[in-house]
Amino acid sequence: AQKITQTQPGMFVQEKEAVTLDCTYDTSDQSYGLFWYKQPSSGEMIFLIYQGSYDEQNATEGRYSLNFQKARKSANLVISASQLGDSAMYFCAMRGGSGNTGKLIFGQGTTLQVKP
């Protein structure tokens, strides 16, 4: 079975500073994808960044980067130069590659608050 664990229920960061949100995962699949989504209070799940299990380089998308450590089964999200608009809930999710439906399995989420 696949599992995602996010151990930080809440995080604070000062505006313009960097923050790391932790994510560990468990799977028996050899091929899988790891995703991060942002959910503001409005409710929409916004896709941020993707890392494939065979990708050798860490993914980056603008201010977002994913620190992928395959041996440790971790996929931490790094947000650089935090902005007030980054305040939201963040979810780590995994999608297996073993011919299944491709559904996402989510962690419990981390609430990030950016302080001015």
Partner 1 sequence: DTGVSQNPRHKITKRGQNVTFRCDPISEHNRLYWYRQTLGQGPEFLTYFQNEAQLEKSRLLSDRFSAERPKGSFSTLEIQRTEQGDSAMYLCASSPAGGYGNTIYFGEGSWLTVV
Of 32, 4, 28, residue with least CA distance to 95: 32
- Which among 19, 13, 55 has a CA at the least distance from the CA of 35? 55
Nearer to partner 1, 43 or 116 (CB): 43
- Indicate which single residue of 52, 63, 67, 74 sits in contact with partner 1 (rule: CB under 8 A): 52
Q: Interface with partner 1 includes 44 (CB under 8 A)? A: yes
Phi, psi (5° rounding) for residue 87?
-65, 120
Closest approach, Cβ 114 to partner 1, in A, equals 19
- Report the C-alpha gap between 104 and 36 in whole angstroms: 11
Q: Which is nearer to partner 1, 42 or 57 (CB)?
A: 42
How many positions of this chain bind partner 1 (CB under 8 A)?
Answer: 28
Cβ nearer to partner 1, comparing 46 with 81: 46
Should residue 14 be labelled a site residue for partner 1 when binding is judged by CB under 8 A? Answer: no
Mask: binding to partner 1, 75-104, rule CB under 8 A, as x and -? ----------------x-x-xxx---xxxx
Binding of residue 11 to partner 1 (CB under 8 A): no
The helix/strand/coil state of 84 is helix
- Under the criterion CB under 8 A, does residue 107 sit at the interface with partner 1? yes
Q: Dihedral of CA 87/114/58/100: which sign?
A: negative
Sequence-separated (6 or more) residues with CB below 8 Å from residue 26: 1, 2, 3, 4, 5, 73
